Amino acid sequence: MFHAFDNAGPNHTLQRPDWMALLARAPLALLEQGLDKQSATEPRWLRRPETGLYMVQARAGGTGERFNLGEMTVTRCALRMGDDGSGLVGVAYVMGRDHRQAQMAAMADALLQDPAQRDALDAKLLQPVREHLALLQMQRAARAEATKVDFFTVAREAGGADEEDDA
Amino acid sequence: MKAEDLQQVRPAFHDPALGSQAVFRAALNALSHPGRLHDMPQVTDLPRHGHGAAAALLLAMVDSNCAVWLSPALANTDTAAWLRFHTGCPWAASANLARFLWVAKGDALPTLNTLAMGSDEYPDQSATVVIEVDALSDCAEQGAHAFNLRGPGIADMQSLWVLGLPQDFAEQWEANHRAFPRGVDVFLATTTQIAGLPRSTRIGATQEA
């Protein structure tokens, strides 16, 4: 889903939390397409992809007592790009069990930290992801819109049966 | 963990399951045969600071429930980041609160009987101390502490020469042994070898070799 913070705005420089939030929600097809031939390189693993559970907590009404909403499946990994052991370290946490998706997201994170590649990747990889997420949100909003019910109070007709009872 | 620390982190076990099992087996053998030298299997990438055998041992033993204390030479190095990244261990605020201690070569060893010794009901809730030493040997070595070890796991007597322990280690160990079943367990680690000193072991007559 697209969020307000995904909309970078004209004067906002892209920060690591921004692109990590996008990569965490990016589908595998878009990641592979955006990384292009770099998706075929074999990274050096710091932590191979592993799937586990996270307890998601929420607050009643957004401000009330904290409670456990439920567990979600998360796959995480950490890797280093390049063969010489001095490359940039990329990290990814993605929802679900797809190891390949976590790997692609971590590789994208590592490459995006390189200022020389950032702008190109922003256009090729992140922008399609933003559009995809915005589309998802629009579709969902449209679906919700179709079932919207406007409640309004029907004005009682004057001289109805009820008033006669009260009298 | 900060991004700069993460950038320095090196990989750990080449194969997490088999690697940690191999190291665990070495640690088990070391405590089963106190004072005998055991080669640490070469199954992991190592951080820059600290002895390799000590690093592998802690990587296999520590998890997110074990508070770890690092001596000053190791705290805030890439070794600390490495151990924390791969095991998720919390840091102990002081040595006496730690379940595992890693004492680097050249750093002062905290007095053994000030560490977590467990209780008579729960002697397992005690600390394990990994001490880096310059050399371990089973034959006489110049300037080394000569230990004659006796106790469970030793048929008659086990001789061990250790280079790089504090002068009063044998006295500290005597006090540690007297508190049995409470007490700490010690691993001595060089870059490639370990030797175990469980609390049941007695150190006999000590003289400079």
- Write down the ipTM of this complex: 0.77
Does residue A140 sit at the B interface (CB-CB below 8 Å)?
no
- Residue identified by tokens 């009298």 is A167
* Mutate which: A77, A89, A113, vs B, most B CBs within 10 A: A89
B86, A47: Cβ pair inside 8 Å? yes
Averaged pLDDT for residues A63-82: 92
Instruction: Please state, as a whole number, how many other Cβ atoms lie within 10 Å of the Cβ of residue A72.
Output: 12
Pairing of the two strands B207-208 and B68-70:
unpaired
In-domain check, residue B208: no
Candidates B44, B50, B27, B29; CA nearest to B133 is B50
pLDDT score of B205: 63
The residue in chain B having the minimum alpha-carbon distance to the alpha carbon of residue A110 is B7
> What's the CA gap between B36 and B151, in Å, rounded?
13
- Decide if A78 and B6 are in contact by the 8 Å CB cutoff: yes
pLDDT level of residue B141 (50, 70, 90 thresholds): confident
Q: Quick check: is B209 in a domain?
A: no
- B207 part of a folded domain: no
Task: Parse chain A into domains and list their residue ranges.
Answer: 26-136
Pairwise CA distance, residues A5 & B77, whole Å = 35
H or E stretch including A80? strand A66-80
| Domain-embedded: residue B203 | no
B66 Cβ neighbours under 8 A, 6+ residues apart: B87, B89, B90, B99, B100
Write out chain A residues lying below 8 Å of B9, CB-based. 46, 78, 89
The answer to whether position B162 is within a domain reads yes
Residue B190 lies in a domain: yes
Q: Tell me the whole-structure pTM to 2 decimals.
A: 0.84
pLDDT band for position B201 (cuts 50, 70, 90): very high
Residue B110, domain member (yes or no): no
Q: Give me the CATH number covering residue B14.
A: 3.40.50.11310
Spatial CB neighbours of B30, under 8 Å, sequence gap ≥ 6: B36, B38, B187, B194, B195, B196
In chain B, how many domains are there? Answer: 1
> How much is the average pLDDT of A93-108?
95
Q: Which residue has the higher pLDDT, B177 or A40?
A: B177
Domain span including residue B64: 3-104+118-198
pLDDT at A8: 64
- Taking the mean position of all CA atoms in its chain, how far away is CA B146? 19
Which pLDDT belongs to residue A87?
Answer: 85
Domain presence at residue B109: no
